[in-house]
Amino acid sequence: MVAAISFFVVGVVLFLFAMIKLGEKVQRLFTARFRQYIRYAVHTPLHGLITGIFTTVLFQSSSTTTALIVGMVSAGLISFYHSLGMILGADIGTTLTVQLVVWKVTDVAPLFVVVGGIPWLFGSPRYKRYGEPIFYFGLILFSLSLIGKASAPLRESTLFVSIFRDSRNLWLGLAAGAAFTAIVHASAIPISILVLLGQQDLISLENAIPILFGANIGTTVTAVLASLVANVNGKRSAAAHLLFKVCGVGLCMVGLPLFVRAVAAVSGSVPQQVAIAHFLLNLIIAVVSLPLLTPVSHLIERMLPGRAEVLPIWPEFLKEECLARTEEALACVRKELWRQMGLARRMFAMSMELITRYDRGKSRDIRYIEAVVHNLRREVGKYLWRVSSKEFSNQTSRELFAYTAMVDDIERIADHAVVLADLSREKYRLRTDFSERGWEELAEIERLVGQNLEDAAVLIEGKNEGRADAILRHEDAVDQRVREAREHHLERFHRRVCRAEAGPIFLEVLINLERVSDHCTNIAEYVLELESR
């Protein structure tokens, strides 16, 4: 019996490990389709529902999907309203994992492990990239298979059988399912266990449903935890997820006899009944909630008041009709560059705040905003290419070249902001700090670089007024301050005034601040060159 319980626990741990790793790998592949994902998701609530289903099928975890949605809403990439359909879809998508257990796809788990493992271990980087997610998916199935085999001897345990017999008590089963799911952050585990126990004739549908209802409420914990480091819109999305689940479970509890009869009428097999009940619950939640998204969003906005910005992911000024007139098209580009620069400046300010006081939510938001900056760079590049296909003067040619270079410089500024955020995370992880003098030097350099960023934004807007010359002066000052800060740091290091592990982080921060200033200088030089002709 001890061995069976040990294998049972090992199966749960393997499932969690594989689910987390699969989520990480799929999310990396997912970023390549980031723009299409957002475009489709925000079209209508129904499109958001479909997108949520598809994403959860890839992640094999609604918890991962909802945490991702909360993060994107917090960063301002998706509005709170548009996130609601995606959350409903995520809850439907997670039912596939349970159905795979019913179909005994777990029996072919070794095949997925081998098919994914061979290219991961021995293939080229290109094949490793795709082999690893398949391997982790196979590991999920294998862990569920291990749980199933471990549960077979448990039928002989009076204590184990009595626990699930007592779960016929609705409130006890509800609490047990919610608590277990909240701990493991995956409703697929307890519900899949119910299926496996049903295959061993250890549980009936009446015993399973209270635990199943509780598991569906417990799965909201991941989104709630993610919302703790989110802004008000992220908190609203997490609250909506909880509200959907609680109301849906409450509705099904009110009509519980009808719910049980409907499930039993579809299938006489307990494992299949559990899977159907899981799907039916989330389908009912989606069908009832989808037409009510507008009043629900207004209700939650009143419950959690506050304003949160939504970032336009797509270009706001690149008008199609302006392409017919080159000068107007370039004016549109200049406005979009100014907006892109605003996002880069915001990222820089957030990253410098993180150096002082690390915040996981802000660090995540910086990465989401980076995706917007990269998207704008791509869209501006496409727009400029279309402008370049027309007849234009030498001056227009110089403007095209300057804007093409500027958009790259702005993107590089955003990249350095991400590096600074990563350095802040490393500083936090090491629990280290800079010396008092080091902080003073850093603050002065940050002030100069911040001024350069502000001046560069004004230049892009089309107002020089001596800003270009100011950037060049500040650049000289930044170079000098960075050089002095390095020398002073080496002196402090030899005198053991600063901690050894803080040294590399401090120097990397200086390097990235200097490079941000360099890109501002590039922008100033492009503007001066355009004005000199």
Residue 246's pLDDT is 94
Rounded distance between C-alpha atoms, residue 37 and residue 229, angstroms: 24
Q: Tokens 């061995």 identify what position?
A: 3
- Chain-centroid distance of CA 217 in Å reads 22
Each residue's pLDDT tens digit, 237-261: 889 999 999 999 999 999 989 999 9
Rounded distance between C-alpha atoms, residue 61 and residue 91, angstroms: 9
Candidate from 22-36, 72-86, 203-217, 482-496 with smallest mean pLDDT: 22-36
Could you tell me which residue, 135 or 38, shows the higher pLDDT?
135
> Contact, 509 vs 355, CB < 8 A?
yes
Return left, alpha or beta for 180; rule: phi > 0 is left, psi -120 to 50 is alpha, else beta. alpha
User: Tokens at residue 478, please?
Assistant: 């930044």
Instruction: State the DSSP H helix or E strand holding residue 148, giving kind and residue range, or none if neither.
Output: helix 125-151
**Which residues have CB under 8 Å from 230's CB, separation 6+?**
70, 71, 73, 74, 237, 238, 361
Calculate ∠ Cα 17-20-22, nearest 5°.
105
Domains of the chain: 2-153+167-303 (no CATH), 320-531 (1.20.58.220)
Q: How far is CA 60 from CA 21, 57, 205, 241, 471, in A?
A: 11, 5, 24, 18, 50
> Contact, 116 vs 138, CB < 8 A?
yes
User: Tokens at residue 331, please?
Assistant: 């004016």
Residue 41's pLDDT is 66
Rounded distance between C-alpha atoms, residue 357 and residue 233, angstroms: 22
Each residue's pLDDT tens digit, 288-307: 999 999 999 999 989 888 77
Candidate from 90-99, 226-235, 419-428 with smallest mean pLDDT: 226-235
DSSP 95-121: HHHHHHHHTTGGGGHHHHHHHHHHHHH
User: Tokens at residue 4, please?
Assistant: 């069976």
Residue 287's pLDDT is 93
Rounded distance between C-alpha atoms, residue 198 and residue 463, angstroms: 72
Each residue's pLDDT tens digit, 251-292: 999 998 999 999 999 888 888 999 999 999 999 999 999 999
**What is the mean predicted confidence (pLDDT) over 162-188?**
75
**What is the mean predicted confidence (pLDDT) over 193-206?**
82
Residue 442's pLDDT band (cuts 50, 70, 90): very high
**Which residues have CB under 8 Å from 353's CB, separation 6+?**
359, 362
**What is the mean predicted confidence (pLDDT) over 339-345?**
92
Each residue's pLDDT tens digit, 116-134: 888 877 777 777 777 888 8
Residue 530's pLDDT is 81
Candidate from 71-85, 160-174, 188-202, 487-501 with smallest mean pLDDT: 160-174
Rounded distance between C-alpha atoms, residue 95 and residue 109, angstroms: 18
Could you tell me which residue, 188 or 308, shows the higher pLDDT?
188
Each residue's pLDDT tens digit, 383-404: 988 887 766 677 778 888 889 9
Closest CA to 206 of 242, 156, 137, 259: 259
Residue 162's pLDDT band (cuts 50, 70, 90): low
Residue 347's pLDDT is 94
Residue 451's pLDDT is 94
